[in-house]
Amino acid sequence: MPNVKSLINGHNSRIIRPVAQENQPGCHCRNRDDCPLNQNCLASSLVYEATISSNLPDNPPMKYIGLCESTFKKRFSVHKTSFNLERYKNSTTLSSEYWRLKELNGEPRVTWRVINYAKAYNPELKRCQLCLCEKFEIANYPGKNLLNKRTEIIAKCRHRRKHLLLNHVNDVT
C-alpha cells in the first residue's frame, strides 16, 4: 500500500502536468494547406495567439491572446464569422482591429499559433489553469502591440459556471 506522501505527489503531478500535445487530435479541414494551426485545429483546451497584419505601411502587426476549451476549430469559426459579418465586428478586440484595417482599405491577414495547453476549471481545486495561463500570457507580454485589454486579467473564469449546482438540479429530481 503506498504511503500518503506518494499519493499526494501523484495527485499533484496529475493536476500540475499540462495536457499532453500528443493526445490532441489532428485536422479535418477540407484543404489541409489552409488549416489555421498547421494540421492541429482539432486541439482543445489551449491558449492561442493571433497575429493580425495588413498591407498598409503605417500599421505594425498586432497580437491577440485568446483561449478555447472546446476545439480550436469551433473557436476559429466564431472568429471567421466576426471577420465576415459586419454586425459581429465588435464581438472581440481582434475582430474590431480586423474591421478597422478593412475600413482603411487594407487587406488584413491573421496567422494563428498555440502558446500553451492547459486544463479547464477543476471544481475540486476551484482553479482554472486555462484562464490562469491566458492571464499570465497577457500580463507578461513584452511588447506594446497587444490588442487585449489589461482588464481581462481580473475577469472571472467563464468555465466555472457549468460546474455550479444550479446546472445539475434537474438531473437529481
The answer to whether 40 touches 100, Cβ cutoff 8 Å, is no
What are the grid coordinates assigned to 140, written together?
A: 507578461
Burial of 163 per CB tally in 10 Å (0-12, 13-18, 19+):
middle
pLDDT of 22 above 50 = no
The answer to whether 55 touches 62, Cβ cutoff 8 Å, is no
State the chain's mean pLDDT as an integer: 85
Helix/strand/coil for 71: strand
Express each pLDDT in 46-95 by its tens digit.
Answer: 999 999 999 998 889 999 999 999 999 999 999 999 999 999 999 999 99
Distance CA 54, CA 107 (A): 5
**What pLDDT score does 171 carry?**
58
Express each pLDDT in 105-132 by its tens digit.
Answer: 999 999 999 999 999 888 888 889 999 9
* C-beta pairs of 81-90 under 8 Å, 24+ apart in sequence: 83/108, 83/110
Distance CA 118, CA 105 (A): 38
Sign of torsion, CA 9 14 15 19?
positive
Distance CA 94, CA 63 (A): 8
